[in-house]
Chains A and B, each alone.
Chain A
Amino acid sequence: MSLAGLENSGGAAANTDRLGAWLWVAQRGSAGVLALCVLIHLATIQYASQGGLSAAEVLARTRGHAGLLAFYGLFTLAVAVHVPIGLRTVAAEWLHWRGRSIDVSILLLALALLAGGWRAAWALYR
């Protein structure tokens, strides 16, 4: 088949929208971070839940603990990347919602999750 045929069939220049590719990288990257964070989190919650869960116990562990603050900070960041990208795919496939409006919406969601998570982490630290 000649190259002329290549240009004519199937359309013109390649789609140069690279957002999908970047989001895939971000999604898999945040997934890796989350895998670690979630494993630690599940184990921690399992351990902490034994014998009951009270504010005093939780705060005794988390207050002033800079390491935990950093952990939850990173956890939140990974969540704020991972969740909106996942929801964007679901919106595209199940709601057929694509384009600028969904991209803006998920960006706002990312910021909201970041704010909410960091606020919660701070609440446990201070």
Chain B
Amino acid sequence: MGALPVSDAWRSRGHASSRVALAHRLSGLALALFLPLHFWALGTALDGGNALDATLAWTATPYVKAAEWGLVVMLALHLSLGLRVLALEFLPWHAGQRGLAVAAMAATTLCGLAYAITLIGLA
């Protein structure tokens, strides 16, 4: 095939759309990995409120709180970049595509900030 070395094949194609596409994919993978854990944790409520409390207490450590914040950011990222893809595929085409990527990142940042403030208020 073409002679690009492996490192070049992994390198983003050097433009914004390619980078956000990678961010979209990685955030999706992170969420896919997290979801079973999320369902399981909530499912402990089946054993009564105390069991759920025990689970929630476990999540009160700083590491877990940081991970939770990370997940909220992943969710906001995946959602806003996903909306961007939907806009590109379904809305009339125009030249302002880069703007969508920027808007998505801005929305994600706001969301991350908001949740961080909430979490810090609890710590």
Contact = CB atoms under 8 A, between A and B. Distances in A.
A92 interface: no
A126 B43 CA distance: 11
A39 to B, nearest CB: 7
Contacts of A51: 121-122
Interface residues of A, number: 36
Contacts of B121: 50-51
Contact of A123 (B31, B38, B44, B83): B44
Given A31-B82, A58-B52, A117-B39, A46 B115 contact: yes
**Chain B: interface size category:** 35 or more
A6 interface: no
Interface of chain A: mostly helix, strand, loop or mixed:
helix
B103 to A, nearest CB: 15
Given A35-B83, A120-B43, A123-B43, A55 B118 contact: no
A113 B79 contact: no
Interface of B: 25, 28-29, 31-32, 35-36, 38-40, 42-46, 49-53, 55-56, 72, 75-76, 79, 82-83, 85-86, 89-90, 111, 114-115, 118-119, 121-122
